[in-house]
Structure 1
Amino acid sequence: MTTSRAADPTTADPDSAFRELFEATYDDLLLFVERRAYHAVAEDVVAETFLIAWRRLDEVPKPLGEARAWLFTVARNVLHNRQRSDQRQQSLALRVLREPDAPNSTEADLAATRIDLMKAWQRLSSADQEVLTLTAIEDLTGPQAAQVLGISRPAFSLRLLRARRRLRQHLGQRPNSEATNVPAPAGPSRRGGSA
């Protein structure tokens, strides 16, 4: 194990300096993250950590021990950001579907609902997730969210309506659901319709 990444970091080319850092620290970094997350998540976190290291290579300390500590710090921050994002997505599904006059639920009911919501959320397209996230998590108004997506406000409202409908449909497809055989409403309620 070496104590420095390169004999003269000012003359070493960035590609070889990064390659040396990667080879010297990858296994340790992966084990560090795996102790805190699932393997599939750990690989993504390590990849993102090395991407940050590549972009900020001049900030990575030169001694290997200090570089490892720097990478561990970055990986820990990446993992925390990812966990916060996952929690926001779970909260989003609850906020989108919460009914104001729903009766108080037991903890078991809430846990089952959360699992169902996570499964339904995963079945949504990334476009639907983005539309719902902009309003429920990012707290943007309709016009602000439309601006972010580069579309008109009516187009955004339509996308949001459809994304909410699809999320409810996915929830309606869960097993043992009361709503399994009940079709989703097709649109606004009829007022004063003809006989």
Structure 2
Amino acid sequence: MNRTTADAEAAFRELFEAVYDDLLVFVERRTDLVVADDVVAETFLVAWRRLDDVPDPLDEARAWLFTVAHNLLRNRQRSEQRQRKLALRILREPGGDTGGEADAAAAHVDLVRAWRHLSPADQEALTLTAIEDLTGPQAAHLLGISRTAFSLRLLRARRRLRQHLRQLPDAEPAPPPAPARTASPGGPA
């Protein structure tokens, strides 16, 4: 059913006011508070975009919104799982290092920090193989480059990631290095 803009806004407002609190409690029971707010907001965004798909009786609309929220939560969990898998796959590459729970958590934090230092092209190469599970030839085809070019890109991206991981300080970033001193003629080296 197509509604006028005023009718759509009124229907959405009524739905929002009737279901928001219950939906928030539903989502909060399944995740932390910060994520719950995001999921509920995304749920109502879906409802607004698909307002014609939302069932008319309030009970059915409520169930529809709970289903959307549940699916959004599952999608988030899958995304987080893919990120963890990426961290583990990259760390298992030669030069990677895994240990106990605490070591794995520290490695994940370090990986996130190192990831931020990579170029978008390096991130893309690693993501296509580690998260999207594409083979080298498939990723090369997707990017429109040769298999060899992709293999080199992936190799270099892994190398740079490992290099960033090795260079990360234990806590806060270290101050920039002092300028290199050059020996003056006749002075100490």
TM range (shorter): 0.5 to 0.7
Structure 1 unaligned spans of 5+: 1-9, 181-195
Aligned pairs (5 A) from 1:1-195: 10=1, 12-13=3-4, 15-16=8-9, 17-99=11-93, 105-121=99-115, 124=118, 127-176=121-170
Identity of aligned pairs, percent? 71
Q: 1:104 to 1:12 in 2, by over 3 A?
A: closer
- Alignment-mate amino acid for residue 148 of structure 1: L
Question: CA–CA distance in 2 between the matches of 1:116 and 1:148?
Answer: 29
Task: Single out whichever of 161-170 and 103-112 deviates more from structure 2.
Answer: 103-112
Question: CA–CA distance in 2 between the matches of 1:123 and 1:25?
Answer: 43
Matched length: 169
- On the 8 A contact 1:90/1:117 being kept in 2, the answer is no
Measured after TM superposition, the shift of residue 97 of structure 1 is 2.6
- Alignment-mate amino acid for residue 56 of structure 2: K
Measured after TM superposition, the shift of residue 79 of structure 1 is 0.9
CA RMSD of aligned residues (A): 3.3
Measured after TM superposition, the shift of residue 131 of structure 1 is 2.4
- Higher helix fraction (1 or 2): 2
Task: Single out whichever of 140-149 and 52-61 deviates more from structure 2.
Answer: 52-61
The alignment partner of 1:146 has SS state of helix
Structure 2 unaligned spans of 5+: 175-189
Question: CA–CA distance in 2 between the matches of 1:129 and 1:52?
Answer: 29
TM-score (norm 2): 0.68
Task: Single out whichever of 64-73 and 45-54 deviates more from structure 2.
Answer: 45-54
